[in-house]
Amino acid sequence: MSVQYLVAPVAVFTDVGRVLVPGGPLVVSFSNRCFPTKAVAIWLANGDEAHRALVRGYLEQAGFTGIVDERRPSSDDPLFVVRGRAPLAPSGSSRQESDHQPTIEGEHP
Quick: pLDDT tens for 47-65. Answer: 989 999 999 999 999 999 9
Amino acid making up residue 48: D
Domains of the chain, residue spans: 3-88
pTM of the predicted model, to two decimals?
Answer: 0.76
User: What pLDDT digit, counting tens, does each position of 90-108 carry?
Assistant: 555 544 444 444 444 444 4
Write b or e for each residue in 92-105: b if 16 or more Cβ atoms lie within 10 A of its Cβ, otherwise e: eeeeeeeeeeeeee
User: What pLDDT digit, counting tens, does each position of 32-48 carry?
Assistant: 888 889 999 999 999 98
- Helix then strand count (H, E) for the chain reads 4, 3
pLDDT-based confidence at residue 72 (cuts at 50, 70, 90): confident
Q: What is the CATH number of domain 3-88?
A: 3.40.50.150
E strand or H helix that includes residue 83: strand 79-85
